[in-house]
Structure 1
Amino acid sequence: MKLRIPDADVLWDSLLPQRRHELTLHVHEHDLDDLHHVNNTVYLAWCEQVAREHALRLGMGTDALSALGAVPVARQHIITYHRPAMLGDLVRVRTALTLHAGVRSVRAYALDRVNPGDPEGGVRLAECQTEWVWVDPHSGRPKRAPETVSARFGFSDAVLGR
């Protein structure tokens, strides 16, 4: 069942910069499968890559999160594929943190081909949502993300004006 969270691009312009990140990639030979288009597992790897880069940009990489006592682990990935990416394509991968409450966070992703000549905004290749659960890095038990993490990712009351 698909999580009822908007895709990354639906909320993109309204989100604080701390809650969103994007990168642009070129499709290489090693990304392709036997059908000569990007393998489905590569899309998920790209989503993980943009999420990691987002966290690192905010100083919240795995080491920093471990030191704070809570790390995110994936609970569920849902990917909808629309069109294949091909060798040489330019792909924009966007992620947006759309929900952060208790021990759960949700990231939405939008993957678009942005080759020269494509329409403004690109051509949608895939969408993904990942539900993350925060856990204690030593016990593996669920644990609320520390307020420092919430604030850094733009979810604290002070940042949201509450």
Structure 2
Amino acid sequence: MKLSIPDADVLWAGLPDRRKHELTLTVEPGDLDDLNHVNNTVYLAWCERVARAHALREGMGTGALVALGAVPVARQHVITYHKPALLGDRVRVRTALTQHAGVRSVRAYTLDRATEGGTDGERLAECQTEWVWVDPVSGRPRRAPREVLDAFGFQGR
């Protein structure tokens, strides 16, 4: 799959709840770089954090995936940065599983400045990660188990 970042907001609205998750985080001093804004690597860590929280919410944490015989391994990240996040900012991080085909899945992420009223704030960044499903013992690619697809609302695939 060649990744390009689609309009993540349209994707978010049209997907079932089981395929999406969000967290609101606060920028802390350790998140900042020498320019006093959130370091690029922190955005990626936040994306991984919301993805893990989503997987745990659906009962598909690492232990469950290992038991099923397939774990996702990142193949490619594409991040577009729009505005910097600063110390004390609240950031809403959303993820949505947008595609699944064979041994690959794609997660989209949006990172927005959180607002008091819960409405969309300024877009800080967008990200997509392509994941490849692999056998945790052999490391060889394998299809995601049916239980995983069902847990995340990919029924009928």
Q: Is 2:40 the partner of 1:40?
A: yes
The percent identity for this pair of structures is 75
Unpaired runs of 5+ residues, structure 2, are none
Q: Which amino acid aligns with 2:91?
A: V
Residue of structure 1 in register with 2:141 after alignment: 142
Deviations 1:85-130 (A, max 9, x none): 000000000000000110000000000001448x931100000000
Q: Which amino acid aligns with 1:136?
A: D
Residue of structure 2 in register with 1:72 after alignment: 72
Question: 8 Å contact 2:27–2:85 — kept in the other structure?
Answer: yes
RMSD (Å), alpha carbons? 1.8
The 3-state SS of whatever aligns with 1:38 is coil
- Distance, in Å, in 2 between the alignment partners of 1:90 and 1:8 is 20
Question: 8 Å contact 2:5–2:126 — kept in the other structure?
Answer: no
The 3-state SS of whatever aligns with 2:147 is helix
Residue of structure 1 in register with 2:11 after alignment: 11
Q: Shift of residue 11 of structure 1?
A: 1.2
Residue of structure 1 in register with 2:128 after alignment: 129
Unpaired runs of 5+ residues, structure 1, are none
- The count of corresponding residues between Structure 1 and Structure 2 is 157
Q: TM-score by structure 2 length?
A: 0.95
In the TM superposition, structure 1's runs of 4+ consecutive aligned residues that sit over 6 Å from their partners are none
Residue of structure 2 in register with 1:106 after alignment: 106
Question: 8 Å contact 1:9–1:94 — kept in the other structure?
Answer: no
Q: Is 2:153 the partner of 1:154?
A: yes
Q: TM-score by structure 1 length?
A: 0.92
